[in-house]
Amino acid sequence: MTDTTFETDRTPTRFGPAQAAVLVAGARGTYARGVTKPLAWRERQLRALRRMLVDNGDLLCEALAVDLGKSATESMITEIGFTVNEIDHTLRHLRSWLRPERVPVPVTLPFAKARVIREPLGVVLVIAPWNYPVQLALTPLAGALAGGNAVVVKPSEVSRASAHALSQLLPAYLDQDAVHVVEGGVPETTALLAQRFDHIFYTGNGAVGRVVLEAAAKHLTPVTLELGGKSPTYVDDTADLEAAARRIVWGKFTNAGQTCVAPDYVLATREVIDGLLPLLTQAIGDFFGDDPASSPDYGRIINDRHFDRLSNLIDPARVASGGGCDARNRYIEPTVLDGITGDDLVMQDEIFGPVLPLVEVAGIDAAIDFINERDQPLALYLFTDDAATRRRFERETSSGGLGVNIPLAHLSVPDLPFGGVGPSGMGAYHGRASIETFTHAKGVLRQPTRPDSTALVYPPFAGVKQRLVQLLLSPRRRR
């Protein structure tokens, strides 16, 4: 285990435009020498990254507890174990994902062979958020390494203990010429964004996502944006309300609600809300006890700014459960609000905290309309036992992902691409989708010079050649 401390007032070494230019140039030189391209190198890096997580699990859990008040068990499930599973899945399938793919050729190219090969992009920048600072830095890193790229990782300065731990651990385990970690805040990120990268992967809010996209446009750099939004949950009258309540509470209050795909609010008829509400309160008590502040399994808000923002969303007149706040400890009790409408303050932006509004709708038509009148969410959840209702949500709504009778869990399926749509993001990753994101699919055509079958398309066009072209390429023939 590496000796790492978590001083929250520690100032990182200065990193400005000059240092950023040198760092990126060094990473580009490593890539240009072909260091990162061999499959053996990629597999070694992935195994080393896995070993880093296993060797230093306790240290990373300590950092996550400092930053977010996470329990060690939650950290192992949602951060360390999650990333290890992603690495294991990638190692099992990487060779097959990278295998060249044969594709058919048209009749006008007899004897030709065509295939698609995946080549690395070059130097990738990964900008990670603070809410899952280990998982959301290392899972994209694993994908970029599997793709054969050099990588610069920029952890969030908000989760300072975790950022410092990663800055110490990654160089100790990975190729220091190909993988770099930059600590710091806005100035450091700005310095990096001024450089030319071959791909930028950003996870965070839409406001910063626009800044990233604008910076990338100057170099025509492709970007993956993993953003967020208000992920709705619709519960109908066929659902098992007890199971729905427990799963909604788990999905909403994991990491104290600071999860980009947490159920942001619940839509249901008045009858369903009346049945669901006491079950939500019961589930909160079952999970976190009568005093969640003393529960070892309930986290804290990341900083004072977010605490103030969240506490201002709690209207005491609408509190159906919870509502307690302690600014000194950045604690907000798991809170359920009832009688909320689309015009209320709590419904204007992504909540990103432990506050769950219940919004009454007349039924499925009104719920779908309510969702479709707003930005496409990163996730949408549906609790129902009715197949027709499920099919309607699949066909009539748009979201990054759809979870039926369970929230959050779609992230844990490596073969499901994870990403947003519209304002909730662009691009996807996890499993094979990470390889597709962090590599270029290059088409390769090989045609022998003898016999010269290409002569069919050489001018002049007359006689037999003209008739063959008309026979083979006529639009009428292709109908």
Question: Which residues are tagged catalytic?
Answer: 226, 260
Contacts of 295 (CB under 8 A, 6+ apart): 287, 288, 289
Element (H, E) at 161: helix 160-173
* Residue located via tokens 């603070």: 130
CB 311, CB 332: distance < 8 Å: yes
Burial of 426 (C-beta count, 10 Å sphere; 0-12/13-18/19+): middle
CB 423, CB 376: distance < 8 Å: yes
Dihedral angle over CA of 104, 109, 113, 117, nearest 10: -70
What span, in angstroms and rounded, lies between the C-alpha atoms of 169 and 159?
16
What crossing angle do the helices spanning 39-55 and 81-98 adopt, rounded to 10°? 170
CB 231, CB 266: distance < 8 Å: no
* Residue located via tokens 């969702």: 371
Beta-ladder partners of 413: none
Answer positive or negative: Cα dihedral of 103, 106, 109, 111. positive
What crossing angle do the helices spanning 186-193 and 17-32 adopt, rounded to 10°? 50
Rg (CA), the chain: 26
Contacts of 369 (CB under 8 A, 6+ apart): none
> Measured between alpha carbons, how far is residue 407 from residues 232, 292, 338 in Å?
10, 22, 21
Dihedral angle over CA of 38, 201, 257, 49, nearest 10: 20
> Both tokens of residue 416?
């499901």
What are the phi and psi torsion angles at 316 (to 5°)?
-55, -30
Residue 418 per-residue DSSP state? B
Contacts of 186 (CB under 8 A, 6+ apart): none
What are the phi and psi torsion angles at 86 (to 5°)?
-65, -45
CA atoms within 13 A on the CB side of 43: 9
What span, in angstroms and rounded, lies between the C-alpha atoms of 52 and 171?
10
Longest CA pairwise span in the chain (Å):
91
